Amino acid sequence: MKSRSAHPLLILVLVLWLPACEPSATVAPDAEPAAVAAVDRQRLRAAETDTDNWMSYGRTYSEQRYSTLDQINEETVTDLGLAWSFDLKTERGVEATSIVVDGVMYTTSSWSIVHALNARTGNLLWTYDPKVAKDKTRHACCDAVNRGVAVWRGQVFVGVLDGRLVALNAATGAVNWSVATVDPELPYTITGAPRVIDGKVLIGNGGAEYGVRGFIAAYDVNSGQLVWRFYTVPGDPALGFENKAMEMAAATWKGEWWKLGGGGGTVWDAMAYDPELELLYIGVGNGTPWNREIRSPGGGDNLFLSSIVALRPDTGEYVWHYQTTPGESWDYTATQHIILADIEWEGKTRKVLMQAPKNGFFYVIDRVSGELLSANNYIDITWATHVDMDTGRPVEVPGARYEEKEFLVTPSYLGGHNWHPMSYNPDTGLVYIPVLDFPANYAQPEHFLYRPGVSNVGTDGIIGSLPDAQSEREAMRPLMQGRLLAWDPRTQREVWRVEHKGPWNGGTLTTAGNLVFQGTADGNFVIFSADEGKQLWDFPTRTGVVAPAMTYAIDGEQYVSINVGWGGAYALVFGEFVQAESLPNVSRVLTFKLGASGQLPNVDWKPRVVFNPPPPTGDATTIRIGYALYQDICMGCHGLNAVSGLLIPDLRGSAYLHDAAGWNAVVREGALRVNGMAAFGQWLSKEQSETVRSYVIQQAHRGQKLQQ
């Protein structure tokens, strides 16, 4: 069932020519006159020394997330307190880094909603809500999240979950222009922050789990016209190649990948830019499906999956690439944060690029040429032993491709490090990585059927995930780890670590005050010393934190701000581990300064599922079929083994378990579409949907027994 019936071209024309059709911004009655986001080429290029402001996603084009502000430092940090908080009024994951320009903060919440705030007081200036259709989440692997905006000469740019790129008037929040950057009929999403380089706004997209062909595109800041588009994987060779790079890439693919959704390789997060070299660096994601044996039978590196690619930002022309995981088969994206720095290397200063992608290796690469300088694993990994420095390729462990039998792979598909930004402190020379450390089972699927628009990972949905047996899952609990890791890129060695309660903690910020800032999954905002990792300060956030902090100054006073609100892929999928922490989603912007003493209200929270299941239905075979369908189609949002991460209702407590007709109307016909539950009648027959109900009823009985 399609949620839109208009022709994509018609939609494109409408959004280009009828901006008045866009939902308009709400301006608060007591709105102050907003300073215009006066950011341009000169200012962005000099951002390193413009310490009062945080003018682009990673603060500077080098994306170091380092600030020379040092009023808040090792000595003064004990005097840090809450200056103001702003309630984002959404209940899904919050991942954004706020932008601050000349005293005005531009930030986003889930559902791509933009707020402009007075950065000194937190007073609302305006809000823009792009009114994303809630059932678009069926194409969002990893929650209805958004990582922030870009600003340029009085405009604010936001990538919307449904694929729109919208330019707003920075003073009022009114829509200047809006374009569909993707075919709205296809399962593309946008969660990443745009960047602006010399009058062009750059945006990628996600959707490789569902079946899309990845690309990054550049739009004119004034007109919204497409300037260039760079695809990351080749299309059907019979239709010709867009450029020489695609022709080169196609030689590394086998089979008919373009029939399985387009190959994947989405550019959903990392970008960095070197203005001197005139090079834009992008991180490219996983293949569709993950399993290379299905995607490209017989092998092949499958360029540019899992690669860092250097492009000319003016034209999108390919310059060089480095592939971190040739022939990737585990969802090992290289979309993770890219940092540019000049570091000492074998007695010389080298211009390098650093990345800790999902695959568990930390890479230091010459960013002029793409030459690999060094690579070492930043967590214990099971799929490879090391990177061969002659070939630049990982040396794989036999069996890791799970061709013959299942293989317990570390890191998992969520990576040793995911989207949560790391940071680099030139004073300590260290990179601060929010690390994930847990395995996942991968296996060849019994059957693989490509289903357009739903998850197509191509690893077995039953044994490829957490086991269904409670005792086996309990045994896995100690393996679910997360930590803050201080890594020396020159020696490729760990310098210090702080173990957290579990995985999926926030991104990091580091400053000249010898500080590292990180929010945690269990609801704390913590500050550590940058050289030794000593905990210096903490503040209870009353909700899990995944976003990174940022810092700015107004009239000589330093502020630190962080968006809080639990969510994202881990929160949705690993419900069982998340529920143990019992934290609600309370989405807020929290801003701190020295001498402030604000407090947050306690949150009344009753996370336990109220079980009231009907008697079991279906025999063992029926339930097993339902289990497999559930893990393939429902699990991404409703959680492994039907245990919800509590961002959305836990199905085991659903009243529809008692009501076969109601279940059918919701699951197949979209009766709760406005709440975000899409119609799945295209992929689930009535009989199949009943097997899923039988499986969830079984899980409800199991859950009830455990609760007693």
Q: Which stretch binds Ca ion (CB under 5 A): 324-332, 403-411, 463-471, 509-517?
A: 324-332
Alpha helices in 389-511 (DSSP H): 470-476
Nearer to Ca ion, 286 or 520 (CB): 286
Smallest distance, Ca ion to C-beta of residue 285, A: 6
- Dihedral of alpha carbons 446, 450, 455, 456, sign: positive
SS3 label, residue 519:
strand
Smallest distance, Ca ion to C-beta of residue 290, A: 8
**CA 250 from centre of chain:** 28
Smallest distance, Ca ion to C-beta of residue 246, A: 22
CA distance 249 to 401: 22
331 is a catalytic site residue: yes
Nearer to Ca ion, 98 or 286 (CB): 286
Phi and psi (nearest 5°) for 65? 55, 40
CA distance 436 to 450: 30
Q: Which stretch binds Ca ion (CB under 5 A): 36-44, 331-339, 479-487, 678-686?
A: 331-339
Smallest distance, Ca ion to C-beta of residue 457, A: 8
Task: Pick from 331, 437, 494, 576 the residue near Ca ion by CB under 5 A.
Answer: 331
- Encoded tokens for 516: 């590292």
Smallest distance, Ca ion to C-beta of residue 564, A: 25
Nearer to Ca ion, 286 or 423 (CB): 286
CA distance 458 to 563: 35
Q: Which of 38, 39, 41, 37 is nearest to 275 (CA)?
A: 41
Q: Which stretch binds Ca ion (CB under 5 A): 325-333, 456-464, 581-589, 659-667?
A: 325-333
CA distance 161 to 694: 33
Q: Which of 309, 251, 262 is nearest to 289 (CA)?
A: 262
Q: Which stretch binds Ca ion (CB under 5 A): 178-186, 211-219, 326-334, 500-508?
A: 326-334
Q: Which stretch binds Ca ion (CB under 5 A): 83-91, 121-129, 281-289, 415-423?
A: 281-289
Smallest distance, Ca ion to C-beta of residue 301, A: 18
Nearer to Ca ion, 108 or 286 (CB): 286
The β-bridge relationship of strands 588-594 and 80-87 is antiparallel
Give the HSE-up count for residue 558: Cα atoms under 13 Å, Cβ half-sphere.
19
Smallest distance, Ca ion to C-beta of residue 296, A: 17
Nearer to Ca ion, 141 or 373 (CB): 141
Smallest distance, Ca ion to C-beta of residue 331, A: 5
Nearer to Ca ion, 269 or 331 (CB): 331
Smallest distance, Ca ion to C-beta of residue 187, A: 13
Residues contacting Ca ion: total by CB under 5 A = 2
Smallest distance, Ca ion to C-beta of residue 261, A: 13
Smallest distance, Ca ion to C-beta of residue 278, A: 30
Q: Which of 357, 341, 492, 484 is nearest to 425 (CA)?
A: 341
Q: Which residue has the tokens 């896995």?
A: 476
- Does 650 bind Ca ion (CB under 5 A)? Our answer is no
Helix, strand, coil shares, percent, the chain, to 5: 20, 30, 50
DSSP state of 211: -
Q: Which of 653, 633, 637 is nearest to 92 (CA)?
A: 637
Helix (H) / strand (E) element for 603: namely none
Q: Which residue has the tokens 């750059």?
A: 202
Smallest distance, Ca ion to C-beta of residue 333, A: 5
Q: Side chain identity at 413, as an amino acid letter?
A: Y
Q: Which stretch binds Ca ion (CB under 5 A): 197-205, 284-292, 556-564, 587-595?
A: 284-292
Nearer to Ca ion, 313 or 326 (CB): 326
Nearer to Ca ion, 95 or 522 (CB): 95
SS3 label, residue 437:
strand
Q: Side chain identity at 697, as an amino acid letter?
A: I
Q: Which residue has the tokens 């092949």?
A: 300
Alpha helices in 335-482 (DSSP H): 470-476
Q: How far is CA 500 from CA 61, 521, 525, 546, in A?
A: 30, 8, 12, 13
- Does 286 bind Ca ion (CB under 5 A)? Our answer is yes
Residue 450, class by beta-carbon neighbours within 10 Å (0-12 exposed, 13-18 middle, 19+ buried)?
middle
User: Cβ(464)–Cβ(442) under 8 Å?
Assistant: yes
- Encoded tokens for 497: 């670590």
Q: Which stretch binds Ca ion (CB under 5 A): 24-32, 64-72, 330-338, 448-456?
A: 330-338
- List the x/- string, 406-445, binding to Ca ion by CB under 5 A: ----------------------------------------
- List the x/- string, 236-275, binding to Ca ion by CB under 5 A: ----------------------------------------
Nearer to Ca ion, 286 or 374 (CB): 286
Q: How far is CA 320 from CA 262, 265, 304, 627, in A?
A: 22, 16, 11, 44
CA distance 113 to 99: 14
Q: How far is CA 405 from CA 383, 398, 444, 632, in A?
A: 14, 11, 7, 20
DSSP string, 341-375: EEEEETTEEEEEEEE--TTSEEEEEETTT--EEEE
Q: Which stretch binds Ca ion (CB under 5 A): 179-187, 236-244, 283-291, 316-324?
A: 283-291
Length of the chain equals 708
Nearer to Ca ion, 293 or 522 (CB): 293
CA distance 676 to 579: 21
- Does 641 bind Ca ion (CB under 5 A)? Our answer is no
Active-site annotation holder among 162, 331, 460, 650: 331
CA distance 429 to 423: 11
Nearer to Ca ion, 331 or 650 (CB): 331
Instruction: List, by residue number, the catalytic residues.
Output: 331
Q: Which residues bind Ca ion (CB under 5 A)?
A: 286, 331
